Amino acid sequence: MPHSSDDDLVARLQAGDQSAYAQLVEENAGKIYRLALRMMGNETDAEDVLQETFLSAFRSIDRFEARSSLSTWLYRIASNAALMRLRRKEPEQVSVDEPLERDDGEMIPRQFFDFCCLPEDDLLREEARAEMMHAVEELPATLRSVFVLRDIEGLSTEETAEALDLSISAVKSRLMRARLRLREQLSAYFSHGPLISEAG
């Protein structure tokens, strides 16, 4: 799908206009850094992924064909860079051939503590937020990338599929598995965590 809002910028980028390169960085570096940080779990690796993403984008801008937006294209480069790094670090955790569908035994809910009624201030206090982000870091990378783009960065299912080169059904399946895993983790945390002991 052509993205006409990017047309002018793409033309300037492909003409080698330095101010266009700076504009691309200024408009996108923040979100690419956030994705990299969520994927890698530390600032050093996130910065490496950030730099690698823009270096790679600059090298290949001549081949950009506007089948997606520039933003989605950058997310795609960054996701690939992050997944490649994670595969090098933890090859057993990031399988290229992971099946799209698994036995849903892994998804069967086991935690039934209803934390919805807890005060919002408690649910979002610093310690709880740290636990939430730790839970994201514990997701397998293939689920984490979908969850971060779709639920944290707010991309649509279609944009997430484009960014990760996945089918729509694969995005939905991985998002569901990620959400169910996180729900389990948060339910366990809120049912046994310090909120309860403090309240009791």
Partner 1 sequence: MSASDQPHEHNQDSCRRYLSSLSEYADGTLSAELCEELEAHMAICENCRIVVNTLTRTVSLYRQIPAPKMPSAVKERLYKVLHLEAYIPPGPDAPDQPGQ
Residues in contact with partner 1 by CB under 8 A are 18-19, 21-22, 25-26, 29-31, 33-34, 37, 43, 47, 50-51, 54-55, 58, 104, 107-116, 123-124, 129, 132-133, 136, 151-155, 172-173, 175-176, 179-180, 182-183, 186-187, 191
Q: Which is nearer to partner 1, 22 or 84 (CB)?
A: 22
Q: Which is nearer to partner 1, 56 or 87 (CB)?
A: 56
Q: Shortest distance, CB of residue 108 to partner 1, whole angstroms?
A: 5
Distance of alpha carbon 106 from alpha carbon 128, whole angstroms? 24
Provide the token pair at 95: 């399988």
Distance of alpha carbon 200 from alpha carbon 109, whole angstroms? 26
Q: Which is nearer to partner 1, 126 or 198 (CB)?
A: 126
Cβ atoms 46, 37 nearer than 8 A:
yes
Q: Which is nearer to partner 1, 12 or 151 (CB)?
A: 151
- Residue type (1 letter), 11: A
Q: Shortest distance, CB of residue 86 to partner 1, whole angstroms?
A: 19
Q: Shortest distance, CB of residue 64 to partner 1, whole angstroms?
A: 17
Q: Shortest distance, CB of residue 198 to partner 1, whole angstroms?
A: 19
> Which residues have a Cβ under 8 Å from the Cβ of 104 and sit 6 or more positions away?
none
Distance of alpha carbon 158 from alpha carbon 156, whole angstroms? 5
Cβ atoms 25, 54 nearer than 8 A:
yes
